[in-house]
Structure 1
């Protein structure tokens, strides 16, 4: 098989790395890719939201399967355009991807299908939003309706802070993405990420993972796209996973299919494990980043057959064999520590030199996934983004995996970067 991956981050590097290990795969192409993905196969410099360029590339290289990594091309309709050209695509339609591209759309569907989630209000009028704040108690969860690179969620304590945030959002902080907002009740509990690979009918549940959204140790500071992750997450036991399946995933998949927008690809279910059971924090229409890095590293088997079946149908009949091929029952504990550029998430400093990535990669059971790197004219690796590297490791236990990941971090010489030193703290506690 020839496989094309759209995207350039750590998630896409991890997918390319895993897919390239499959005996079914001859070539892995990436667009636009990154220096890490370039070592796996050819990279093509294009914008994955440019549907014309994406279709032209697909017609040129004729891949057997196209995997759409990030949310922006899904929201732009890349999967629909490519399917219309006859390609098999792993990724939901533009309509189904609104589960991520519109928080309000997702909340309305959950309400319709009876899926447990926080109480909410949805607003496109500033005055109505401010009036609503006076009717609810804090803390207040304020979300930009559209895509805001993982930064469009703010939690504040006081009504005054909430009013300021709402005004900031609705007067253009994230442009069109925050012209409409959702205000939610604050849920208490522990968060976890559940990833479900689906063809719209059947479902494969990957081990639960846990992300670390806040920028600082001890979960302080602003929200980020994710500073690290690990799997499996012990907060999701067999009972919680069964409730996620019966109360959340099955109603969503059957409801969306009945409403004429079957969901194909991976459904990211962000949950809060509350005293009354799991409730949905958010849905995403793609693998999480950095959870994907930990999941790909921990899966011992071949993920390609499952990716293909989710794209073409027939998952219900082949579920058991696909899970066996992936090695789901033998998942190895894994952890990812994100190294970010100083100033992230506000104004990351770009252009700083990074050394020692090859040394970290050479450590047994350690893999460094590139998220925001480039090679300059001096052939030096430099930082070009906020989250720059995802140092990932596996181990016999979760603690061993975390320790090994930090061993990898220690091998990297990058004065312009920083990382959290407490990844996995909840599980280790």
Structure 2
């Protein structure tokens, strides 16, 4: 099949790379793409927010499958425009994508599906937000109801900061705080059948030890050796399948990637949020371990015949992804710094350098062009091994102002090392 990936970031690079490794995929196209994607895909200019432009490009290329990566085009209805032309598209409709586009809508769906989640108040005025903050008490959790590129959530003990964030948004959810570790669990679905992927964990804050402001994600790893036995089955039965079924009951078919952000609390699994697309950077680690042909899975989901193909298979071992960000991120980002060392890292087996915010300058040099610049993903025998390899790759790449976390997967790796050490 011929495929077209829509987007410019690390998630889209990882998708294009995985599709290029699928024997059934004869061509990979990407639009607009990034310099890293050009090694595995033919790049095309397009406005990713224009359904008509994306559909026109898909028709012109005669592709068999369009994969819409980012959330904003999905909420804008790009997948609908592609399907209206009779072209298979992996990605939910604009109506279904409201599961991410509006946290209030997601809460309503979860209530209808009896999905366990945090208690919340929807607030549109400062007075409502203040009352909700006082009702729940610290730590305060305030979420922008709309899309915010992964940075619309504030969790703080500072009431003034929580209220300021609430006031800065048109509509917010003020929620009860959920204790316990967070887990990302993705599922491929055609609106009926649900195939969960491996659970993963990402690291949202900019600095080590989960300090500093939230980012789009500074690293991830999979699988999770500490996850409770049966977690994936429990989440499929209590969260993923009921959500897909509730949407179908409302006449909304969710076809695409359903992302459940979970908290493993003392009271059990609770949904923190839903997303309507592959997460970044968890996708990089997950696809590095995927042993099934990605194109086959996505096409079957897009065509409503997911139960005709086998569930995803996984390679042994583990994968760790470490993000390298530009100076000033996440408040600002610096562009134009020359990036060196990628070729040597990318040439190593089972290591991928995934581009996110890169560009070519007038002299053809690879330079920074965004907050999260790139990510190094390494596969190893276990998390400890994969982590060492990922950080070896990171330290071999350089650009002025580069910053990264040093503790991605450190606890899980330490647990493995301790288990292997005689008492």
Q: TM > 0.5 between the two?
A: yes
CA RMSD of aligned residues (A): 1.3
Question: Retained in 2: the 8 A contact 1:353–1:416?
Answer: no
**Structure 2 residue ranges without an equivalent (≥5):** 416-423
Equivalent-residue separation in structure 2 for 1:187 and 1:351 (angstroms): 40
Question: Retained in 1: the 8 A contact 2:110–2:116?
Answer: yes
Report the CA distance between 1:40 and its aligned residue.
1.3
Equivalent-residue separation in structure 2 for 1:27 and 1:314 (angstroms): 22
1:403 is aligned to 388
Equivalent-residue separation in structure 2 for 1:66 and 1:214 (angstroms): 32
Q: Are 2:150 and 1:150 aligned? A: yes
- The 5 A counterparts of 1:19-418 are 19-167=19-167, 169=168, 178-316=169-307, 318-319=308-309, 322-323=310-311, 326-328=312-314, 330-418=315-403
Query: SS in structure 1 opposite 2:324?
Result: strand
Query: SS in structure 1 opposite 2:209?
Result: coil
Equivalent-residue separation in structure 1 for 2:351 and 2:89 (angstroms): 30
Equivalent-residue separation in structure 2 for 1:163 and 1:389 (angstroms): 34
Runs of 4+ in 1 over 6 A off after TM superposition: none
- Structure 2 CA distance for partners of 1:300 and 1:332, relative to 1, 3 Å: farther
Deviations 1:141-164 (A, max 9, x none): 001111111110001213333223
Deviations 1:55-113 (A, max 9, x none): 22112111100001110110100111111110100001101101111111111211222
Equivalent-residue separation in structure 2 for 1:92 and 1:419 (angstroms): 33
Normalising by structure 1, report the TM-score: 0.94
Equivalent-residue separation in structure 2 for 1:383 and 1:74 (angstroms): 27
Normalising by structure 2, report the TM-score: 0.95
1:174 is aligned to none
Equivalent-residue separation in structure 1 for 2:398 and 2:134 (angstroms): 50
Alignment coverage as a number of residue pairs = 414
Question: Retained in 2: the 8 A contact 1:300–1:332?
Answer: no
Question: Retained in 2: the 8 A contact 1:345–1:386?
Answer: yes
Moved more, 124-133 or 372-381: 124-133
Moved more, 87-96 or 108-117: 108-117
**Structure 1 residue ranges without an equivalent (≥5):** 170-177
Report the CA distance between 1:238 and its aligned residue.
3.0
Question: Retained in 2: the 8 A contact 1:299–1:332?
Answer: no
Equivalent-residue separation in structure 2 for 1:121 and 1:64 (angstroms): 43
Equivalent-residue separation in structure 2 for 1:24 and 1:164 (angstroms): 51
Deviations 1:3-58 (A, max 9, x none): 00000111110110110111111110000000011111211122210222112211
